[in-house]
Amino acid sequence: MASLGQVAEHRVARLAGISRVVNKIDVLPLSSFDDSLRWRTYRAVFSTGGLWRYAMGANPSIHIIVDGGHVTRKREVANQADAQLAYMAARSVPGSFSVTNNLRVEQNKAY
C-alpha cells in the first residue's frame, strides 16, 4: 500500500505541465504528546488578540507543526505584530522543547 506522501506525489505528477516532482513530504510519527501540544498551541495562538482570523477556512494561514515536542509555525501573516503575537502565544504553552518561527509577513493581503 502506498503512503499518503506517495499518493500525493503520484497525483501531482499527473497534472498538466508538471515535468518533475521532488517529494519532500515527511510523515510524522504518531504521538499523543505531540497531538496534545499541537492542540494546546493551536488554542493559545488562535485565541490571542485578533489571530483567530488566521484559523478561518479549510487551509489556515498559520500552520502549527509539532515533531518530538518541537513546535514550528509556518505560512504567512499580514504584519510583523501578528507574527510576534503568534510567537509569544506559542512560547507560552508549557511542554514544548523549542518554538521555531517560520512565519512570513505578507504586506499586501487582507485577512
Domains of the chain with CATH codes = 1-27 (no CATH), 31-105 (3.30.1340.30)
Could you tell me the three cell numbers for 24?
519532500
Taking the chain (111 residues) in runs of 10, the rounded mean pLDDT of each run is 77 87 79 95 94 87 92 90 93 95 77 51
* DSSP bridge pairs for 104: 76
Nearest Cα to 85, choosing from 47, 40, 59?
47
CA distances from 8 to 12, 16, 22 (A): 6, 15, 11
The pLDDT score that the predictor gives to residue 7 is 83
The pLDDT score that the predictor gives to residue 109 is 56
| Residue that is written with C-alpha cell 505578507 in the block | 106
Q: For residues 83 and 77, what is the distance between their CA atoms, to the nearest angstrom?
A: 6
The pLDDT score that the predictor gives to residue 107 is 67
**27: DSSP letter:** -
